[in-house]
A and B are shown apart, each in its own frame.
Chain A
């Protein structure tokens, strides 16, 4: 972390300190009502709970895998709450907090990880495209989509901005660098939101990039900013501004949310093989939730009753996540052939029919096809 730590102090945009003190920023004013702050706090607590429940479900064998967002709640809720209804998101695979802001819940989000679907929702319904496993691919899709928005003239005050999410590791991919360049030369209405959680599985940020990530934007010809990714206020204010910039036809922005992945990469990973627990403890002090809580208390914006109510809501959510997960139906064998093509495809139709016959041949026999 040495290189990045050196840059951190100078360039980090922060509106809320780890102790919960608000520090106004000249370029990113943020005027939130008490109710809005309470709303952000609630979001943070609930997505953390959703995430924790999913990790538990994986341990219980209900999910094949889970990519935890623990530690990254502020980056996701801050940027997610900066979006307007019409804005369009191209996520990676860990962006459950952004999904939450778009109205997706456990019913949609758990399917991919449970292995009952390779998607899980209708992107158009939520303006939230499908999770992307192949690192960096979505940055080009987002850029192309933004180019389409531009061609449709859907910019301006009520226009559409596009945002895409990716990790620090993804900035090494050709696709991501091509996306930066395409977006720049086309002046596309897009925000590149990089959650630099310091690790790409076992590889620390400095194995990906010698230059601070946000500085890369300059080389492509658009602004890049580094924001405290554990500060929900800063993430909200900066993303809002970048979206406005895009919407008004001023082109792309790269936001590097400087944050930390508190847990394992996924439930299959063992971080003790490559990092020290002291590092995680240090980041624990910068926890995105406790600082908002401290702020609410300090400002007298919330009382014990409020916090208790949010905790109770989190409990309910936890129970709902468990029920929803177990209720996700297993697909039927012939679903393998579903929606491969838009038009009839004689070859596949024949293969499906043959497989149906094959399954039927087991009927009545032991181990009959379900």
Chain B
């Protein structure tokens, strides 16, 4: 197979590079993304090779990043914005929610908003506050935005290219604690021939219960499936959070009859709640137990010495599976 072994971070970097090579309208924007290559080095080397006009070190202002990206998109560019950490998205929330998300609908389709917002998100790296949050529900609650996340290098490589090619605004969530995970990446083909970014993926087949996860939790879901020798756990990696590929989820749940949804974000009003509701509406007669959610607590993200307790780990996920069988 033609491919290379890449970390998830390097795979995004390679995908961005290819997107820039293929389309001169693609721009990078963000804080420290130039010479430094971003604090996680995701844009490493792009400034050197594409120059300061296409890799824009912005002033320290997130509202400015998204607001000017909107104007650049109106002018025919395809900006890819890096927000340095999840907790620093919020100064850009106004531009994202009240402007970026709505221009297409407001203009009756006259305006395209091909803007990508890349955000390293989630916990598990021992960071200080505002560096470990999971803000996905804010995005999935907002009409007009697409929201995706990746769990492995191959998806990272292709989905970032698909996100750049998409004419809608895409929030591209990067699970920062998985940046250093390595795997083979198939690099031949084009973004159109890769699995579409809107599709969920059955990451492991099973027959007794469906475990839905995404981003950083996929690895843990797979470990849980591995660890549970009594029950056959099917793991569905959602990939796209808005829209969710419900066909894949429903199909799985109809076969297994049970569902656990796991994510890092607080459980209340989170994506798990939405999936539980949809599955209940559509698969009621196939369900043998209520849908179980496993997630972060409804508290601020704690100081890092407590994050191992906050983040759903293998035991918490298996406990969720137990609860689905205990019913």
Interface residues of A (CB under 8 A from B): 64-65, 111-118, 133-136, 169-170, 172-175, 200-203, 207-209, 268-270, 273-274, 330-331, 333, 335-337, 340, 347-348, 351, 355, 358, 362
Contact = CB atoms under 8 A, between A and B. Distances in A.
Given A134-B91, A202-B57, A331-B306, 13 more contacts: A114-B305, A115-B128, A115-B304, A134-B90, A136-B60, A172-B60, A175-B91, A208-B59, A209-B59, A269-B39, A336-B310, A337-B299, A351-B297
B128 A112 contact: yes
A175 B63 CA distance: 10
Contact of B299 (A174, A330, A336): A336
Nearest to A270: B36
Contact of A335 (B61, B131, B302): B302
Given A347-B268, A348-B299, A118 B305 contact: no
B35 interface: yes
Nearest to B308: A333
B31 A203 contact: yes
Contacts of B57: 202-203, 207
Given A64-B127, A169-B60, A118 B91 contact: no
Contacts of A115: 126, 128, 303-305
A208 B60 contact: yes
Interface residues of B, number: 38
B306 A333 contact: yes
Contacts, number: 114
A333 B298 CA distance: 14
A111 B302 CA distance: 13
User: Which of B60, B299, B310 has the largest number of chain A CB atoms within 10 A?
Assistant: B60
23 contacts: A65-B127, A112-B129, A115-B303, A117-B303, A133-B129, A134-B87, A135-B60, A169-B59, A172-B59, A173-B61, A174-B61, A174-B64, A174-B91, A200-B31, A201-B36, A202-B36, A203-B31, A203-B32, A203-B57, A209-B59, A333-B309, A347-B298, A348-B298
B50 interface: no
Contacts of B87: 133-134
Contact of B297 (A117, A330, A336): A336
B66 to A, nearest CB: 12
Nearest to A361: B319
Nearest to B84: A201
Interface string B105-136: 00000000000000000000011111100000
B88 interface: yes
Contacts of B88: 134-135
Given A336-B297, A351-B297, A331 B303 contact: yes
B44 to A, nearest CB: 9
A53 to B, nearest CB: 19
A200 B59 CA distance: 9
B37 interface: yes
A330 B59 CA distance: 37
Contact of B319 (A113, A172, A208, A358): A358
B35 A172 contact: no
A340 B36 contact: no
A348 B319 CA distance: 20
B34 interface: yes
Interface string B65-101: 0000000000000000000000110110000000000
Interface in B286-327: 297-300, 302-306, 309-310, 315-316, 319
Contact of B61 (A172, A270, A351, A362): A172
A203 B31 CA distance: 8
Nearest to B92: A174
B58 to A, nearest CB: 8
B286 to A, nearest CB: 27
Given A65-B128, A133-B129, A336-B309, A201 B303 contact: no
A102 to B, nearest CB: 21
> Which 4 A/B pairs are nearest by Cβ-Cβ distance?
A115-B304, A202-B36, A172-B59, A169-B60
